[in-house]
């Protein structure tokens, strides 16, 4: 298992990748990607039991589904640096006829990507289906999914949440990136989410919170607690409090960087705040 220091170094390099990928094509979504860096690092570097010999069946291994597909930069960086495909391929992000499209797709066969994401609200349904399949196949591995908090404004999320609890899909851990921001502003201004803990509990889920979603040790501890709650008849929801744009000071505290690329000077500032640790692509 990697040390906490190694996980922090990994996260720092992922942040560099995110900034460089989005800057190179002047397009993409750095804010949420930076905010979920520790979570994705913890998931793929320590928490999940999976094979790098990727196949879509996913039998005998844990599965992950990214529902808020616009934060593809963090997924691509973590997959590449975990060994699913060459790190050098990150340079092809959002370019024509490449496997690393702005929102993950499956038709190009990119290892690690199990669903096409981008139409928000659909990922929980897919994850519930995959978790149900594992139960039918007597596969004791878990299914993980990640969602934006603004995504919970989609009604399909709550249909899937109702089904998962009603059918006791208790091998599912769904995490909400709870940063209180979305593309048009604060979630409270766009469409208030209300008491998410109370809502998920009312739907029949076990709910945990990670108060420091940008602290790798807190994330690891929270995911460990979530795993301990599986198999008890209820799906598990993690409300993970993060900061959009975390790690780059001028991107934090605002929704403005949800889907905006840094210019040359801003890129340099962001990279200076995240010194190279594993080597750039």
Quick one: average pLDDT of 3-7? 98
Beta pairing, strands 181-182 & 206-210: unpaired
At 15, the pLDDT band (50, 70, 90 cuts) reads: very high
The tens digit of pLDDT for each residue in 240-270 reads 999 999 999 999 999 999 999 999 999 999 9
CA–CA separation, 255 vs 252, rounded Å?
8
Candidates 101, 100, 75; CA nearest to 90 is: 100
The tens digit of pLDDT for each residue in 152-168 reads 999 999 999 999 999 99
The predicted structure's pLDDT at residue 46: 98
Candidates 29, 264, 59, 248; CA nearest to 150 is: 29
CA–CA separation, 67 vs 119, rounded Å?
8
At 49, the pLDDT band (50, 70, 90 cuts) reads: very high
The tens digit of pLDDT for each residue in 106-136 reads 998 999 999 999 899 999 999 999 999 999 9
The predicted structure's pLDDT at residue 26: 98
**SS3 for 130?**
helix
At 53, the pLDDT band (50, 70, 90 cuts) reads: very high
Candidates 220, 264, 265, 270; CA nearest to 41 is: 220
At 1, the pLDDT band (50, 70, 90 cuts) reads: confident
Question: Residue 16: is its pLDDT beyond 90?
Answer: yes
The predicted structure's pLDDT at residue 118: 82
Q: Which CATH number fits domain 4-272: 3.40.50.300, 3.20.20.70, 3.40.50.970, 3.30.2130.30?
A: 3.40.50.970
Longest dimension (CA), the chain: 53
CA–CA separation, 160 vs 181, rounded Å?
23
CA–CA separation, 93 vs 24, rounded Å?
8
Quick one: average pLDDT of 189-196? 97
At 271, the pLDDT band (50, 70, 90 cuts) reads: very high
- Percent over 90 (pLDDT), the chain: 99
């Amino acid at each position: 298992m990697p040390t906490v220091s190694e996980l922090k170094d990994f996260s720092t390099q992922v942040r560099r990748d995110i900034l460089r990928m989005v800057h190179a094509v002047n397009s993409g979504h750095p804010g949420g990607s930076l905010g979920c860096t520790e979570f994705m690092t913890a998931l793929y570097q320590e928490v999940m039991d999976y094979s790098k010999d990727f196949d879509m069946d996913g039998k005998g291994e844990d599965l992950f589904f990214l529902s808020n597909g616009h934060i593809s930069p963090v997924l691509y960086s973590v997959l590449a640096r975990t060994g699913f495909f060459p790190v050098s391929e990150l340079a092809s992000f959002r370019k024509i006829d490449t496997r690393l499209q702005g929102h993950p797709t499956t038709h190009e066969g990119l290892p690690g990507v199990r669903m096409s994401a981008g139409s928000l609200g659909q990922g929980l349904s897919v994850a519930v289906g995959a978790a149900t399949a594992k139960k039918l196949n007597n596969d004791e591995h878990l299914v993980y999914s990640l969602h934006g908090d603004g995504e919970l404004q989609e009604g399909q999320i709550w249909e899937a949440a109702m089904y998962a609890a009603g059918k006791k899909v208790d091998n599912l851990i769904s995490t909400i990136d709870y940063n209180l921001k979305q593309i048009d502003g604060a979630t409270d201004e766009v469409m208030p989410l209300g008491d998410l803990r109370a809502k998920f509990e009312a739907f029949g889920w076990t709910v945990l919170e990670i108060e420091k979603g940008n602290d790798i040790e807190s994330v690891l501890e929270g995911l460990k607690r979530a795993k301990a709650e599986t198999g008890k008849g209820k799906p598990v929801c993690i409300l993970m409090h993060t900061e959009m744009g975390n790690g780059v000071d001028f991107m934090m505290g605002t929704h403005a960087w949800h889907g905006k690329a840094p210019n040359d000077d801003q890129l340099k500032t962001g990279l200076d705040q995240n010194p190279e640790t594993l080597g750039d692509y």
